[in-house]
Structures are given as C-alpha cells and as structure tokens.
Structure 1
Amino acid sequence: MDKQAALYHFKEHHFTPLLDIQLDRLEAMFDRYQAQLISDFKESFRNLCIHILSMQQQGQKEPIGYIHYSFLRTQMLEQSYLYMVEAYSTEWYEDDSDCKLTYDASWAYAPMSIMLEALEKERKIYMGTITSVDVERLMLESAPLFHQFVSSLLRLGMTEVVQMPEYLAIHKADRVAIRTGEYKDISENLYVEDQEALLADHVREQLIHSSEEEPYVYENLKRLSLPHLHLMQKDLRYNDFSHSDLRESQFHTCILIGSMWQRSNLAGGSFQGCLLTDADFRYSNLRDANFSNASGQPYREHGVRVPGLCGLHFEHAILDGADFTDVHSFEHAYFDGASMQGTLVPQKYYQHWKLSEAQLQSIVWTE
C-alpha cells in the first residue's frame, strides 16, 4: 500500500469514525453542561473588561473597536487549548497596545487529546507508512470542528455578557465588533454594537431592498421601531432585532439563522416558512404569532454542526395564541417560563419539549 492509499484508508477507517464519535460525545456534553460553560465564559469576559478598563484609566488603551477570541492551531499539538482574547481599538491589528488575556476552551478540545493517543496506536499497523506528522496534520485540519462548539457557546452567552457592568464601563468606539476565529485569519461576528442610533426608516429601506447578491446580515438592529414590516425571501441571518417594535411584521420564507429577537414586540407577526435555526426569542412578545411551516433544521455534514448547536430559544416569551402548526426540526426548542395559553403545537413535540405542567395544560395540541 503506497502512502496516499494508506492515508485514505487510515482516514476512512480510523480517523473519521473516531472523530464522529468524539463530536457526538462533545455535543451531548455541550447540551448537558451549557449553563456552567456559559457561567465560566461570563467570568472570563468580566476579567477581560476589568483589564481593559484598567488600561484605559492609565491612558494605555484607546476606545475599543474589536474584541477577538482566537484559537491557536499551532499550540494544539502541545495540548494547549487556550484562546487568545484581545481587545483592539478601531485600528484592529494595527493597534500595538497589547491588551490580552486567555480563555480556557479545553472543555471543547479535550477530545483531540483522546484522539491523538488512540490514533498513534492505530497508525502503527501501517508499518511506518503513516507517521506521527500525518496524524498531527489530520488533527489540526479538524480544529474548526471543535471550534464550532466554542463559537456557539460564546454566541449563547453574548447577550448576557454585554449587559454586565464591567462591559458597560469600558470606553468603546462608535462601532464595536466581538468576533471569533483562527488567530489573524478568517473570523466571524458574534456581536455588533453601534453607539450611534440607527434611523428606523433607513434600516427599513435597507431590509426591503436587500438581495441575494447584497444580503443584510450580522447587523445590530436593536431598539428600532419597525411595525408592519413586510419581507419575503430575504437573507437576514445573525441580525439582532432585540428590544425592537415589530408588531404585525411579516417575515415569509426568510433565512433567519442565528437571529436575535430578545425583548422585542412581535405580537401578531408571522415567521411562516422561515428558517429559524438557532434563533433567539427570549422574553419577546409573540402573542398570536404565526410560525407555521417554519424550520429549525440544523446543519449536519462532515462533522460541521453549525448552525444548529444553540437550539431555538423561547424562554420567558409570551406565546399565547401562537401557531406552531407544521413546524419541523423544532426538537431542540426551549420554553422555560414562557406563557403558552392557547398555543397551537403539534402532538409530536409533547415528548421532545421540556414543558411545565401548566404549559402542557394550556397548549392546544394538534395532529
């Protein structure tokens, strides 16, 4: 067996099956210990903000424009799973006043250590054709699959950490972006904050005229008055509509992956046929809202599980009279503290959703 054939066989019969098992276990752990993981992240973020403010009070740091959580692929082979957390001015990487701490993400990357040990044994049956360097290369290539759990956790905790007094106290630029990704490489927004208020009419026009070629995504659209907004087949993924007035607004067959709607007024609105994977409606008013034919379909391909790790969040929302007829892939939806008087829910979710006795009694169960 030549080198390429041996590598293909090793990957197909040893590496990939082991990776799938470890990702399944990690996902189960992520779901079970999510609250504690978020608590640990919040404490880490609090320490970062204290450090930033200390530097600013000493005149060593300009207003913050970027906060970046970076994974360091090269350190992973040393089984160091610390993220570098850096705060920058608006100059980003040109900002030379170092302001950094670390975040311990070993909870997400510990399976890599298990895999390295197991694969080192498995490679020896190939009689020297597969080397330790080959195993390490495969492990490094898989790093983003473990990072997706960290990015999902940070996204889940973000709305809480940006309300902490320590974050509110730091001096910020007109626009702040909190991001994550590989160190000085591709990264994504977790949170965007604009100090200057957006004009509702301007945002309405941008939403209406967005297109497949120019989607309107990853924007901070909080605290806007946009009642009776009517949008169809728009890509609005990861936009933050929290604290906004969106009464009677219609979102038909829109892509709303990872969108945020916390504490928004969405009474009488419609999300009919929308893709709502990882959407967050906590504390929102969804009285008489229409979710019929909406989907929470998670992405699952070759180990990639984002979007889909965060689940759908309706905790403490008002869902009285809301219609969940024919929704699909809503198994990972959460309703703790939600009011569900007269909410229409398919019978198939009776076993999937963790509901209180009062919620079970007040829901109208449909076929």
Structure 2
Amino acid sequence: MDKQAALHHFKEHHFTPLLDIQLDTLENKFHRCQDQLISDFQKSFRDLCIHILGMQQQGQKEAIGYIHYSFLRTQILEQSYLYMVEAYSAEWYEDDSDCKLTYDASWAYAPMNTILETLEQERKIYMGAITSVDVERLMLESAPFFHQFVNSLLRLGLAEAVQMPEYLAIHKADRLAIRTGEYKDISENLYVEDQEALVPDDVSEQLMQSSEEEPYVYENLKRLSLPHLHLIQKDLRYNDFSYSDLRESQFHTCILIGSIWQRANLEGSRFQGCLLTDTDFRYSDLRGANFSSASGQPHREHGVRVPGLCGLRFEHANLDGADFTDVHSFEHAYFEGASMQGTLVPRKYQQHWKLNEAQRQSIVWTE
C-alpha cells in the first residue's frame, strides 16, 4: 500500500468514524450542559468588557469597532484550547493598541485529545506509511468541526451578554461587530450593533430589493417600525430584528436561518414555508403567528452541523393562537416560559418538546 492509499484508508476507516463518534458525544454535551456553558461564556465576556472600559478610562483604547474570538491551529496542536479575544477600534487590525483576554473553549475541543491518542496507536498498523505529522494534519483539518460548537454557543450567549451593564458602558464606534473565526483569517459576524438609527423606509426598500444574487444578511435591524412588511422568497439569514415592530408582516418562503427576533412584536405575522433553522424568537409577541409548513431542518454533512446546533428558541414568547401546522424538523425547539394558549401543534412533537403541564393542557394538538 503506497502513501496515498494508506492515507485514504486510514482516514476512511479510522479517522472519520472516530471523529463522527466524538462529534455526536460533543453535540449531546452541548445540549445537556448548555445553560452552564452559556453562563461561563457570559462571565468571560463581562471580564472582557471590564478590561476594555478600564483601558478606555485610561485613554489607552478608542471606541470599539470589533471584538474578535479567534482560534489558533498552532495552539490546538499543543492541546491549548484558549480562544484569543481581542477588541479593536474601527481601524480593526490597524489598531495597534493591544486589548485582549482569552476564552477557554476546552469544553468543545477536549475530544480532540481522545482522537489524537487513539489515532497515534492505530497508525502503527500501517508500518510507517502513516506518520505523526499525518495525524497532526488530520487533526488541524478537523478544527472547524469543533469550532462550530463554540460559534453556536457564542450566538446563544451574546443575546443576553450585550444587555450587561459592563457591555453597555464601553465606548463603541458607529458600528460594532462581534466576530469569530480563525486568527486573522476567515471569520463571520455573531452580532452587529449600529449607533446611528436606521430609517425604516430605507430598510424596507433594501429588504424588498434584495435578491438571490444580493441577499440582505448579517444586518442589525433592531428597534425598527416595519408593520405589514410583505416579503417573498428573500434570503434574510442572520439578520437581527430584535425589538422591532413587525405586526401582521409576511415572510413567505424566506430563508431566515439564524435570524434573531428577540422581544419583537410579531403579532399576526406569517412565516409560512420559511427555513427557520436556529432562529431566535425569545421573549417575542407571536400571538396568532402562522408557521405552517415552516422548516427547522439542520445541516448535516461530513461533520458539519451548523446551522442546526442552536435549535429554534421560543422561550418566554407569547405563542397564544400561533399555528405550527405541518412544520417539520422542529424537534429541537425550546419553549420554557412560553405562553401557548390555543397554540396549534402537531401531535408528533409531544414526545420531543420539553413542555410543562400547563403548556400541554393549553395546546391544541393536531394530527
């Protein structure tokens, strides 16, 4: 067996099956320990904000334009799973005033230790064709599979973290983006905040004119008055509509992956046929909302599980009279503290959703 054939066989029969097992275990932990993991993250975020404000009060740091959570592949090989968390001015990497702390993500990356130890033993059966360097290369290639869990946890935790007094106190640039990714490489927005107020009519026009070629995504659309908005087949993934007035709006067959609607007024709105994977409706007013035929389909392909890890969040929302007829892939939906008087729900979700007795009694179960 030559080198390439050995590598292919090793990856197919040893590395990939072991990775899948560890990712399954990690996903179970992610859901089981989510509250504690979010709490730990928020504590570290609070410490970062205190550090930022301290530097600003001493004149050592300008208004913050970027906060970046970075993983470093080189440290992963050293089994160090600390994310570098850096705060920059609006100049981003041109800002040479260091403001950094770390975030311990060992909860997500610890399975890599198990994989590495196992592969180091299993490579020996290839009689020298597979080296430790080959194993290390495979481990580095797998880093994004573990990062996706950190990414999802930060998304869940930031919604409340940005309400902390410590965060509100720091001086911010006109636009602040909290991002995550590999150090000084590809990264993505987790949260965006604009200090300048948006004009509702302008936003409405931009939403209407968006297209498959020019989607309207990753924007901060909070605190806008946009009632009776009518959008069809738009890509609006990862937009933040929190605190906005969207009464009687229609989002027909739109892509709403990862969108945030916390404390929004969505009374009577329609989300029929929408892709709602990882949407966040916590504390929103969804009385009479229509979700019929919507999907929460998670992404699953070769270890990639994002979007889909955050689930659909309806905690503390008002879902009285809402319609979940014919929704599919809503198994990971969360309703703690939600009002569900007269909510139409397919009976198949009785066994999947964690509901209290009052919720179960107030729901209208459908076939």
User: What range is the shorter-chain TM-score in?
Assistant: over 0.9
Q: How does 1:67-216 map to 2 (within 5 A)?
A: 67-216=67-216
Matched, 1:229 2:229: yes
Letter in 1 for 2:344: L
Following TM superposition, by how much is the alpha carbon of 1:168 offset from its aligned partner in structure 2, in angstroms? Answer: 0.6
Divergent runs of 4+, >2 A: none
In the aligned structure 1, how far is the partner of 2:168 from the partner of 2:316?
A: 24
Tell me the distance in 2 between the aligned counterparts of 1:357 and 1:328.
23
> Where do 1:47-86 residues align within 5 Å?
47-86=47-86
Query: How far apart in 2 are the matches of 1:78 and 1:340?
Result: 49
Cα offset for 1:206? Answer: 0.3
Number of residues of Structure 1 aligned to a counterpart in Structure 2: 367
Read off the aligned partner of 2:321 and give its amino acid letter. G
Structure 2 length normalisation: TM-score? 1.00
Matched residue SS, 2:110: helix
Q: Partners of 1:335 and 1:142 in 2: how far apart?
A: 33
Shift of 1:156: 0.2
1:35-46 to structure 2, matched below 5 A, reads: 35-46=35-46
The residue number in structure 2 matching 1:270 is 270
Hey, what's the Cα distance between the residues in 2 that align with 1:311 and 1:117?
A: 32
Identity %: 86
Q: Which runs of 5+ in 1 are unaligned?
A: none
CA offset at residue 78 of structure 1?
Answer: 0.6
Distance 1:280 1:317 in 2: 10
- Aligned partner of residue 350 in structure 1, secondary structure: helix
Could you list the per-position Cα deviations for residues 272-322 of structure 1 after superposition, in whole angstroms to 9, with x for gaps in the alignment? Answer: 000000000011111111000000000000000000000000011111111
Distance across 2 between alignment mates of 1:193 and 1:102: 22
In the TM superposition, residue 189 of structure 1 has moved relative to its aligned partner by 0.1
**1:34 Cα deviation (Å)?**
0.3
Q: Give 1:342 deviation, angstroms.
A: 0.7
Q: Where in structure 2 are there 5+ consecutive unaligned residues? A: none
Partner of 1:25 in structure 2? Answer: 25
For 1:305, the equivalent position in structure 2 comes to 305
The whole-number CA distance in structure 2 between the counterparts of 1:114 and 1:77 is 13
Task: Please give the alpha-carbon distance, in whole angstroms, between the structure 2 residues aligned to 1:196 and 1:100.
Answer: 27
Give distance in 2, aligned partners of 1:263 and 1:166: 21
Displacement of 1:235 in angstroms is 0.1
Amino acid at match of 2:201: D
Partner amino acid for 2:60?
Answer: Q
Counterpart of 2:314 in structure 1: which amino acid?
F
Structure 1: distance between partners of 2:92 and 2:337: 41
Aligned-residue Cα RMSD (Å) equals: 0.4
The alpha carbon displacement at 1:209 in A equals 0.5
Alpha-carbon separation, structure 1, partners of 2:54 and 2:287: 45
Deviations 1:157-215 (A, max 9, x none): 01111010110111100000000000000000000000000000000000000001110
Q: Give the distance between the partners of 2:363 and 2:50, measured in 1 at CA.
A: 45
